[in-house]
Amino acid sequence: MDSRSPMNIAEVVRDTASDRLVGKRIAAFECDSRCGIDAVKTITYQELWARAVDLAKGIRERLGSGHWSEKTYQDTIAACCMDRTIDWYVVYIACAALGLPLAAMGTDLPSKAQQGARNTYIMKELKPAVVIGDSGVDGS
């Protein structure tokens, strides 16, 4: 990669996942603040990449165009409304793999008024073609 080129995080995760040794390392974790250490969930780079590819295929199918790895979404935007869990990282990597800009809607801002204003702005002004939430994908 040219040092002047922007880094594509999806390519980094893909390359890391394909490494025989590094791909099995923990890429992300989440824990429920109400539970102890036994409640920590983890995902390896290989698992993260596999789940992101599956989601990217689903998003591309929902948006209705071409092969999942063709990056043609620079004029389209996705929104994500979910807590920062492992699933959030899957969404982030899937959108990066598609070249699909992602606007993160607030789910945990201290001010509910600020959170509502942010989310309303994203929906009204950015007009995401697809909204991904904890309960699934919604969009055209």
Reading the chain (140 residues) residue by residue, the pLDDT tens digits are 455 566 677 888 888 888 877 778 877 777 766 655 566 788 889 999 999 999 999 998 888 765 555 556 777 899 999 988 899 999 999 999 988 999 999 888 888 898 899 999 999 999 999 999 876 555 54
107 occurs within a structural domain: yes
Give tens-digit pLDDT for 89-102. Answer: 999 999 999 889 99
Please tell me the total count of domains within the chain.
1
CATH number at 124 reads 3.40.50.980
Is 3 a member of any domain? no
Secondary structure of 43-97 as H, E, C letters: EEHHHHHHHHHHHHHHHHHHHCCCCCCCCCCCCCCEEEECCCCHHHHHHHHHHHH
Non-local (6+) Cβ contacts of 57 within 8 A are 68
Residue 81's domain comprises: 9-139
